[in-house]
Structure 1
Amino acid sequence: MSNNTRNDRIFGAVLLALAIGFFGVALAMHVPFAYDPLGPKAFPMILSLALGVMALSLIARPASGTGLPGGRVGLQLLGVLIVLVAYGVLFTRIGYLISTVAAMTILARIFGATWIKAGITGVALTASSYALFAWALGIALPIGSWLVY
């Protein structure tokens, strides 16, 4: 077995463990009222199942690529991972608007946008996604626990 095949299978196993864990967390979610007939559990459960299927396919049939990306692409991917983890951690603490503008701006910078273009992109994506979620779909987004007295 080549090194890349082993790495893909290990990565697939880690993703499968995450999918199972996320599915368990989704099952344990309890919300006193539901936004829709499916309830708030449906979306994370569907994502967990999709991740599990992809992880199983990676375990069963690993890619024949050249391994992990290095250089600039590897650093960009690491930067994206860090931004997304920070976004997940800070989302409810600092609120949807601030965390999404910051995340989108930093992601745009990671992929080469100037600060001005990245800022405009962050604000535009946040405003349009807020309009979609809050106004069109009626989903309550967190304002941030630091604003709650």
Structure 2
Amino acid sequence: MTEIDKRKLVADTNALDDFNRGVVEEFRANGGKVGGPFEGGTLLLLHTTGAKSGTPRLSPLAYLTFEGRMFIVGSYAGAPKHPAWVHNLRADPRAHIEVGTEAYDVSVRELPDAERDAMYPKITEIAPVFADYQANTTRSIPLFELTRA
């Protein structure tokens, strides 16, 4: 996998869908491991329900674990808008995830502003790219905690 053009993926939903489809296939074929720019990272597959459509949605995402808690970051590579999965989770805070070879239901909690503001620097210590993404947008990038249901 070559270096990814994040701006193109954010701007072109078809390109993003194709890219994500490849990541999902690689994830499932390799027991949750993905190479290229994601090699060594922690990825999960997030299954949500479309907020408007009601149809199943699948998003491969990086996740971080801090003090035994699992978090996902609505960064969308620092784009000015939230990724679609953020809207889906706000409409229905239940999801299903695949992590490695395990799959289970989770309840999802968006961190309120004060808690988000306290946690975001801890997240960026683990994954500095999220500091870059926040610097590239005026929106507050949301954090979500996933808890096994």
Question: Same fold by TM-score, threshold 0.5 exceeded?
Answer: no
| Structure with greater proportional strand content | 2
TM-score per shorter chain, which class?
under 0.3
TM-score, normalised to structure 1's length? Answer: 0.24
Bigger radius of gyration among the two: 1
TM-score, normalised to structure 2's length? Answer: 0.24
